[in-house]
Structure 1
Amino acid sequence: MDGTTRRRDEAARAANSPHVHDFGLLIKAATRLEQRIDAALRRECGIGHTMFEVLIRLCRQPGEAVSQRELADDLTLTSSGITRLIDRMEEAGLVCRVPSPGDRRSVLVETTDHGRSVFLRAVAVHSEVVERYFVAPLDRADYTRLTGALGEIHKALREG
């Protein structure tokens, strides 16, 4: 067997390895679920999944305003990406920017009443999609094991 054929066979074995396959299933499932959520949120609420994630963060602590930097870190966006997103959300009346009381150079973001109303509708839509495609396909014991395992993976990644 020549070197090219051997590398081709090794590459095929590697591409079909259990770790590559299993991680691929996780990514594909998460991506498709996110696409379903995004489509439903856009159709039913007029916002995308990323805007929904911002609203989750802003609604988590009533009355809390969060810096754009914190939002960018939470959502793994660049500073320019979060600025453009917040611009669009502000234009839609979902959020507003307020000066930071402790740092005149910093701007905080908070939800508006309209943003909270949209968020509450979006939570219901999100919940329906998650129930249908993430919860319902599994029996209760498998779902409990899956969420427990995902929690352990998340913990290992935070610590590592």
Structure 2
Amino acid sequence: MEIAPAAGGEAPGAPSAAEGFAAAAERPAVHELGLLLRAAARLDRAMDAGMRAECGLSHTMFEVLLMLARARGEGIPQRELAEGLTLTSGGTTRLIDRMEQAGLVRRTPSAEDRRITLVEATAQGAEAFGRAAEVHARIVDRLFLAPVAEGDRPHLLTALRAIVENPEA
């Protein structure tokens, strides 16, 4: 499969390869998506640094505990956690191993299907989540909400939901 056309053979009057390369980088959609991705990465880095410094949890560990808190005491299959975190199966296993060693979660076999391992928060994990949720809220307020005018927030959230809920994604 050829990714780019072969060098040379440009039609007279057509933009050069360098011009086409630069023009592709200047498309508004490229800039706009880049802004979204840079904003998300910046927020993620700030969240991770703040939670590590104040709670000893990575942002990804917080996300696991958040999913478990939303499950209201029901264990979540480890595979489902992997999908929610967009981690590989191996990456999720290593993360849950570290969280289990830290006393934040425990694995239990599913009563309905012994092939499934459920992950649930421990009391220590719930306590750590409570502390981390306060740090999370402060960082969200400072870095996500404060820079956006209050009147623009509903539009921003509507747009983000539309992206997340797009059935074509």
TM-score by length of 1: 0.93
Supply the distance in 2 between the matched residues of 1:63 and 1:145 (Cα, whole angstroms).
34
Aligned length: 157
Supply the distance in 1 between the matched residues of 2:115 and 2:20 (Cα, whole angstroms).
55
TM alignment of 1:5-154, pairs within 5 A: 6-154=16-164
Supply the distance in 2 between the matched residues of 1:8 and 1:102 (Cα, whole angstroms).
60
- Structure with the larger helix share: 1
Supply the distance in 1 between the matched residues of 2:165 and 2:100 (Cα, whole angstroms).
34
Alignment-mate amino acid for residue 26 of structure 1: L
Alignment-mate amino acid for residue 103 of structure 1: D
The alpha carbon displacement at 1:72 in A equals 0.8
Supply the distance in 2 between the matched residues of 1:155 and 1:95 (Cα, whole angstroms).
29
Runs of 4+ deviating beyond 6 Å: none
1:71-118 Cα shifts (integer Å, max 9, x gaps): 111111111111111000000000001111112222111000000000
The alpha carbon displacement at 1:119 in A equals 0.2
Supply the distance in 1 between the matched residues of 2:45 and 2:63 (Cα, whole angstroms).
14
RMSD of Structure 2 on Structure 1 (CA):
1.5
TM-score by length of 2: 0.89
Supply the distance in 1 between the matched residues of 2:72 and 2:148 (Cα, whole angstroms).
34
| Structure 2 unmatched ranges of 5 or more | 1-8
Supply the distance in 1 between the matched residues of 2:145 and 2:114 (Cα, whole angstroms).
45
The alpha carbon displacement at 1:50 in A equals 0.7
